[in-house]
Structure 1
């Protein structure tokens, strides 16, 4: 039996928050053609997170900030997802990259 819609929404949002909290993530993204999305009945959607069903992986899609090697960032984002969901397979898609945030000037 699948979890109730409120549990799915809370889980998708928790994963989105964990991924978005990484400093090398500029934003979550729906991925190519908007396919990386959790649709929430009556409440819209969570772009950038698609919760797997059964043995399917959890998918996350992000726009990354330049600076961290992308394979390392993918590993760190997968670890963040597993911090929320436990030992699950995770696929990470980089939809785009943007310049890194500039450091604040020294005073």
Structure 2
């Protein structure tokens, strides 16, 4: 039985915040064709986070900065998801990688 909708919305937003807070993450991304997303009531959605149902993994898709080896970054992002949701399987998709210069915010 899926969790109540309010719990899904709260969990998806909390996962998105935890992942986006990582210094190697530029932004969350919907992944190929926008399929990595949690659809919430109304027209709301959280792009870059898809909460699994049952034994399905949580999926996250991100655009990242160069600098951290991708396997290490995947492990760190999965740990951030687990810090929010507990011991769940996590799939990480790197939608794009940008240079540190390109990822820096413009003044």
- Provide TM-score, normalisation by structure 1: 0.91
For residues 37 and 65 of structure 2, the distance between their equivalents in structure 1, rounded to whole angstroms, comes to 21
Question: Equivalent residue for 2:34?
Answer: 34
CA distance in structure 1 between the aligned counterparts of 2:100 and 2:74, rounded to whole angstroms: 17
Cα distance in 1 between the residues matched to 2:101 and 2:14? 25
Superposition RMSD in Å: 1.2
1:42 CA displacement:
1.1
Distance 1:41 1:73, change over 3 A: same
SS at match of 1:92: strand
Q: Post-superposition shift, 1:101?
A: 5.0
Aligned length: 102
Residue 105 of structure 1 corresponds to none
Per the normalisation by structure 2, the TM-score is 0.91
Larger Rg: 1
State the match for 1:64 in structure 2.
64
State how 1:15-94 maps to structure 2 within 5 Å: 15-94=15-94
Unaligned stretches of 5+ residues in structure 2: 103-107
